[in-house]
């Protein structure tokens, strides 16, 4: 029977529609605060008028904002987690860290914008960085590049179980001695015109017409 290693969490980072960690997230959740609110009037996404939108907290560094929103969220949360673990300024230790990341839809904003350029605006090309920024492993890859994480780099896309699977697989890798440290979690950014219409076609959005006509809620 191989020796199993103890697995512990040394740092946590999150950026959500109800706050960040470290920050106001825990207090907001305990207070029952909802992050769901009406979408901005200048950017409606029919048939959706309400959603849980992250309106602040994303790193303003141009190296972050140049990427798809789903990658921006991952980079911000990763920085928060590494900071809380005391590893942000220790490049030598970070070099041993792996990345296990879950995302169901990946960089959907990049793909949505590219399709708009081709089909709606009828342009003959898309942005040169569309592919490296639009594939599912873009957030995990950029996290490794940005923070110098040279361990195993894995992306899991298993619908709603993506992030839980990434965390579970990271725990197993450490427990069985394949890795010493892993930055694990998930990222999602589904508020794009095409993706929301796809969920609406699946009848997976909850209508609230009886309470607040005529709006819908996206979870």
CATH number at residue 63: 3.40.47.10
Query: Tens of pLDDT along 37-75?
Result: 887 754 556 667 778 889 889 999 999 999 999 999 999
CA distance 15 to 81: 11
- Please report, rounded to a whole number, the percentage of residues in the chain having pLDDT higher than 90: 65
> Between residues 17 and 2, which one has the greater pLDDT?
17
Task: Note whether residue 115 is domain-resident.
Answer: yes
pLDDT tier, 214 (very low <50, low <70, confident <90, very high otherwise) = very low
Looking up tokens 């825990």 gives 26
pLDDT value at 2 more than 80? no
Do residues 105 and 188 lie in contact, with contact meaning Cβ atoms separated by under 8 Å?
yes
In a domain, 142, yes or no: yes
Cα dihedral 148, 153, 158, 164 in deg (nearest 10) = -70
On whether residue 195 sits in a domain, the answer given is no
What's the CA angle centered on 114, arms 108 and 115, to 5 degrees? 90
In a domain? residue 6: no
Least confident of 22-36, 77-91, 140-154, 187-201: 187-201
Q: What pLDDT score was predicted for residue 43?
A: 56
Strands 216-218 and 50-52, by their bridges, are: parallel
Range with the lowest mean pLDDT among 70-84, 92-106, 193-207? 193-207
Does 212 reside within a domain?
no
Say what the pLDDT of residue 210 is: 34
Q: Which of 11-15, 26-30, 144-148 has the lowest mean pLDDT?
A: 26-30
User: What is the mean predicted confidence (pLDDT) over 94-105?
Assistant: 96
Structural domain includes residue 44: no
Average pLDDT, stretch 148-164?
A: 97
2: in domain: no
Domain count along the chain: 1
First to last CA, the chain: 44
Rounded to the nearest 5 percent, the helix, strand and coil shares of the chain are: 35, 15, 45
**Which H or E run includes 217?**
strand 216-218
Range of the domain at 92: 14-33+54-190
Domain-located, residue 48: no
In sequence order, the 6+-apart residues with CB closer than 8 A to the CB of 70 are 103, 105, 106, 107, 108, 109, 138, 139, 187, 188, 189
Q: Summarize pLDDT for 161-199 with one digit per residue, the tens.
A: 999 999 999 999 999 999 999 999 999 998 888 888 888
pTM greater than 0.95 (yes/no):
no
């Amino acid at each position: 029977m191989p020796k199993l290693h103890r697995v512990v969490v040394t740092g946590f980072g999150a950026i959500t529609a109800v706050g960040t960690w470290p920050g106001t997230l825990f207090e907001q959740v305990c207070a029952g605060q909802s992050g769901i609110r009406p979408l901005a009037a200048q950017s409606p996404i029919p048939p959706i008028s309400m959603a849980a939108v992250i309106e602040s907290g994303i790193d303003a560094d141009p190296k972050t904002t140049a990427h798809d929103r789903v990658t921006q969220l991952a980079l911000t949360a990763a920085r928060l987690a590494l900071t809380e673990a005391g590893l942000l300024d220790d490049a030598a230790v970070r070099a041993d860290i792996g990345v296990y990341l879950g995302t169901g839809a990946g960089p959907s904003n990049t793909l949505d914008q590219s399709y708009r350029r081709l089909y709606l605006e009828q342009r003959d090309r898309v942005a040169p960085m569309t592919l490296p920024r639009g594939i599912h492993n873009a957030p995990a890859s950029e996290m490794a590049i940005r923070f110098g994480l040279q361990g195993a780099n894995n992306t899991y896309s298993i619908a709603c179980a993506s992030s839980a699977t990434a965390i579970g697989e990271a725990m197993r890798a450490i427990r069985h001695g394949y890795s010493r440290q892993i930055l694990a979690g998930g990222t999602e950014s589904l508020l794009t015109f095409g993706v929301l219409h796809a969920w609406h076609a699946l009848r997976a959005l909850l209508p609230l017409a009886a309470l607040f006509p005529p709006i819908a809620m996206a979870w």
